[in-house]
C-alpha cells in the first residue's frame, strides 16, 4: 500500500528564511498531490495542488515541486513569517477520486 513520509516531525526556522518541507511516497505516482495547512484543533486548509504531469506550481509565497522519478514533492514557503507556523500536510489523490491519503505532517515553527 502507498506510504507517505514527510521529512521531519518539526522544523524550526528564523523569520524571513525559506522553509522547505519534503514529502516522499512509495509505489506509483498519484494523479494529484496536494498540500494543506492544519492549525491545532482545526480542519486542514487547502494550499496547493499539483498534477502528475506538472513540475512546479506557485501561489504567492508558496511553491510546490513534484518529481515523479524521485517520488518526491517539495513545499517551499519564502520570506517565512511567524503566522506561517502550523502543521503542513502532504496528501495524495491516487486516481482523481478526491479520496486522500495523508502524510503525518511537518510542524513548522517560524521564530520572530
Partner 1 sequence: GAVVSQHPSWVICKSGTSVKIECRSLDFQATTMFWYRQFPKQSLMLMATSNEGSKATYEQGVEKDKFLINHASLTLSTLTVTSAHPEDSSFYICSAPTGGGGTDTQYFGPGTRLTVL
Rule CB under 8 A: choose which of 23, 25, 32, 86 binds partner 1: 32
Kindly list the distances between the CA atom of residue 9 and the CA atoms of 12, 39, 86, 107, in Å, as whole numbers in the listed order.
10, 15, 12, 6
- CB of residue 30 to partner 1, shortest distance in Å: 10
Beta strands 45-51 and 100-102: pairing type?
A: unpaired
Rule CB under 8 A: choose which of 11, 13, 49, 74 binds partner 1: 49
Nearer to partner 1, 18 or 96 (CB): 96
Cβ atoms 7, 90 nearer than 8 A = no
Our finding on whether 74 is near partner 1 (CB under 8 A) is no
Our finding on whether 89 is near partner 1 (CB under 8 A) is yes
Task: Output b/e per residue, 97-109; b: 16+ Cβ within 10 A.
Answer: eeebeebebbbbe
State the residues that interact with partner 1 by CB under 8 A.
Answer: 31-32, 34, 36, 41-46, 49, 51, 89, 93, 95-105
Amino acid at each position: 500500500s502507498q506510504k507517505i513520509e514527510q521529512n521531519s516531525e518539526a522544523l524550526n526556522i528564523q523569520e524571513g528564511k525559506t522553509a522547505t518541507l519534503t514529502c516522499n511516497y512509495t509505489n506509483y505516482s498519484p494523479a494529484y498531490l496536494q498540500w494543506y495547512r492544519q492549525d491545532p484543533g482545526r480542519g486542514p486548509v487547502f494550499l496547493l495542488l499539483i498534477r502528475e504531469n506538472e513540475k512546479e506550481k506557485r501561489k504567492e509565497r508558496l511553491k510546490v515541486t513534484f518529481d515523479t522519478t524521485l517520488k518526491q514533492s517539495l513545499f517551499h514557503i519564502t520570506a517565512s513569517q511567524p503566522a506561517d507556523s502550523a502543521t503542513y500536510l502532504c496528501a495524495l489523490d491516487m486516481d482523481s477520486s478526491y479520496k486522500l491519503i495523508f502524510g503525518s505532517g511537518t510542524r513548522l515553527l517560524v521564530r520572530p
